[in-house]
Each structure stands twice: as structure tokens, then as C-alpha cells.
Structure 1
Amino acid sequence: MLRGGFNFADGEDTPFGLSGAPAKSIVLVGQAGAASWPHFLRWRESQSQAIANPLDTWSREVIGALANDFGARAVSPSDRPYLPFQQWAMRADGLRPSPLGILMHPQYGLWHAYRGALLFEDEIALQEARDVIHLCDACIDKPCLKSCPVDAYSAVGFAHGACLTHVRGAGGAPCRTGGCLDRNACPYGTAYRYPATAQAFHMAAFARP
């Protein structure tokens, strides 16, 4: 699904478009909830199990085909050198980060993602991002910071090493099978929560050596 977009300002340092000229407009593409998960699984059944990053590969195929249809350059969050996708997303969708770092959406909560973007060398008409309620401001209890057994998320940031060690260990079984306990504790957007199989897929990728 389209996830908003914007036109780059004059003089702004921008990525290049399809021909190598500076891009003038960007449209982000991604998902909300689990609607895309069955489509990915069907594609996965027909692919080699040796693909290292199947979700990235599938996303590039889908968004790349869309880019070909519209004469745009497709880029991905995992492209190197990394592009500022989170900054682009905040600018396009008007969102702000949650305490977990994931952008909080007023409808989808934490259950959404940006899988790629289309870069256009011509300026296109795009609706400006509206001001949205940041639900984290109204959340007093902050259960997203109280559910992790190793306090991976706190006011000082993400304790990556502690989280990874826990997820890989015997005590991390609930995280491996059902997803991040802090993320699942968030009370917003629960109707869009990813199914356990999708969360387990992401946690397996995170814990992979």
C-alpha cells in the first residue's frame, strides 16, 4: 500500500532517480497489519529455501514491478549505503517514534512497516502530511517499557546485546514464537497485530547468527 510521499525542497540533498538525475518526489510503499503476509507466504513456497532475506527479496520484486510501471527508481530500507527511511516516513506520514523506536501510527499502532520507496525525477502532486495524534503522549503506563524480562528498551535506548542474548537463550522462547513482548504490550492498533507466524519469522531473522 502507498504510505505517503512528499516533494524534495529546492537545494535539498536528494537521492538520484531512474536516469541518475536528482529525484524531485518520493512515494513510500509498505504495509499495515498482516494483509500482505499470505501473499508473501504463497510467493515463498515457490522460491529456493536458500534465499537469505526472503522478505526483502519479495518486497523488492513487488515494488520494483511497480516502479517499472510508473517510470520510477525503487529503493529499499536495506540498500547500502542506507537511505534515511525513518526520516522520510516521518515527513511523509506525519508520524513520530514510539519508545521502542517504531513509528507510532494513529490507526495501526506499531503494526505497520515501510518496505520501499519510489523516486521520481519529475515533481508530482502529493498531499502534504497531516498533523496526527501521537498516541504515546496519551499513554501514561507505558506497558511497552515494562514487559521485557531483560529491560531491552528504556529511556536510554535499545540494549541490543541484552535483547539478542535473551532471544537466543532458553528464556527467550516466548519472544521467538510470539514476537517481542514489549511491542505486543502496546494497547494501540491491536486489530492490526501481526500473526504469531509473522512475528516468529521476524524474530528468527533478528536472532540469526
Structure 2
Amino acid sequence: MILSRGTVEEIAAALAANGLILRGGFSFGDDETAPAGFSGGPARSVLLIGQAGAVPWPHFQRWRERQARDIANPLDSWSREVIGAVAQEFGARAVSPSDRPYLPFQQWAMRAERLKPSPLGILMHPTYGLWHAYRGALLFEDELPFPEAHEAIHLCDTCVDKPCLKSCPVDAYSGQGFAHEACLGHVRGHSGEPCRSGGCLDRNACPYGTDYRYPPEVQAFHMAAFAKL
């Protein structure tokens, strides 16, 4: 797939140097309001960038050792730096899930990879399970010829027991949605130590994609960021 400044394969190779991967993409329709591209005109295509498992973690850790210890949102800052450099090299605009106003990253991901949300809200991947993430996207003013995305098997439909809804001590996830305050209070409290050190019990109870499960130190990092510990 050829761009005006390189190929998608070259972009994938540049991202792989930091443990990141392409997560699919699509071209915006003529009737859609697309975000701005590199030069300010409407983007024609988007490539999603993310991770499978914890492959980027060593790259992030080496970067973090060179930064001030009190840097805010270090993983977000690292992702912006890495993806921004790739965007500059290939003539794209880099965007992040934390940009304001928020861009519809989850809708983009569902469209690009044909995934559906799990009961925890995280998109269920047929290979990675719940152990993946989207770190950013590249917006191009070229219209890229993406192959048609095929419907992915939704593993949650095959899961009868739903252990992801039975492992949390405060029932943070239910048919009524996510009980944010109950979860936060538990994680910050004395009884929340297993969650702080090893990650969300509901997420870890999911039987799919376990080969890609984040190591405990990675889960502890994300939990500390959630709880602002």
C-alpha cells in the first residue's frame, strides 16, 4: 500500500522499533465529517496504532528512565513522542485517544477491526482477548485502498460463565454499566491491594488471550494511573 511518502509496510517497521503495531484502518466516506489531516485539510484515511500484549513496555521503560520522575501521564507522553515521530516521517497527523475534544477512537477501532465491546467495555479481540490497547492514530490526506475488514468472532458470545462479571469484590461491572466510584474506593482501600499489585480481577478472569496478558508490574502501573496513587 503506497503513500505519498512511503508505504504502510515502512510505517509498520518504524512502529515495531518501539513495540507498537498497526491495528487496521479505513478511508472516510465523502459524506463523513473527517478530522483534519497534516496540512489542515480533511483527512481521507486513518491508520490505528496500538499494542498486543506488553511488547512496548521495555521500550517505554527505557524512555522513562531518561525523563523527570514527576512527568505527568508518562505512557501517554511516550506514545505521543513515538507516534508523532512516525507521523512526521510519513506526512501524517498524529492524534491520541486523550486529545481534546475526544476523537471517536473506539468507533474507529470497531470499524477498522470489526471488534465488539466485552462486558467490561474493552473491545474483545479474537486473538489478544482483552490484552491490547490503542495508543494513537495517523491521519492521512491520501485515500488508502484498505482491504475489506471481515467480521471478527466475538468471543464473549461463546462464553457462558462470564467470569469477568463475577470476580470483582464490589461488582464494579454489571448490566447497569461501570460503578466507577465503587471501583475507585475499593482500589484505594486496604482490601484493594490485590487489584493494585496485580490488576483488575474481572479483566484477569477472562479466559481468552491469556498468552498476551500484561505482566503484574504493567497492570500495577495502569491501576496506579487509574487510582492516581
Q: Does 1:43 align with 2:63?
A: yes
Q: Which residue of 2 aligns with 1:176?
A: 196
Paired residues for 1:16-35 under 5 Å: 16-35=36-55
Q: CA deviation at 1:34?
A: 1.0
Q: Which digits, 9 at most, give the CA deviation of each residue in 1:20-47, with x for residues without a partner?
A: 1010100000000011111111111111
RMSD: 0.7
The letter for the 1-side match of 2:197 is T
Structure 2 gap ranges (5+): 1-20
Q: Does 1:58 align with 2:62?
A: no
TM-score (norm 2): 0.90
Q: Which residue of 1 aligns with 2:122?
A: 102
The letter for the 2-side match of 1:187 is P
Q: Which residue of 1 aligns with 2:224?
A: 204
Q: Does 1:155 align with 2:175?
A: yes
Query: What secondary structure sits across from 1:42 in the alignment?
Result: helix
Query: What secondary structure sits across from 1:119 in the alignment?
Result: strand
Query: What secondary structure sits across from 2:99 in the alignment?
Result: coil
Structure 1 gap ranges (5+): none
Q: Does 1:133 align with 2:177?
A: no
Q: Does 1:81 align with 2:96?
A: no
TM-score (norm 1): 0.99
The letter for the 2-side match of 1:156 is Q
Q: CA deviation at 1:8?
A: 0.4
Q: CA deviation at 1:124?
A: 1.3
Q: CA deviation at 1:127?
A: 2.0
> How far apart are the structure 1 equivalents of 2:174 and 2:210?
22
Q: Which residue of 1 aligns with 2:14?
A: none
Query: What secondary structure sits across from 2:121 in the alignment?
Result: coil
Q: Which digits, 9 at most, give the CA deviation of each residue in 1:90-132, with x for residues without a partner?
A: 0001100000000000000000000000000110122222111
> How far apart are the structure 2 equivalents of 1:202 and 1:133?
27
Q: How many residues align?
A: 209
- The answer on whether the counterparts of 1:8 and 1:25 sit within 8 Å (CA) in structure 2 is yes
Show structure 1 runs of 4+ deviating over 4 A: none
> How far apart are the structure 1 equivalents of 2:102 and 2:134?
14
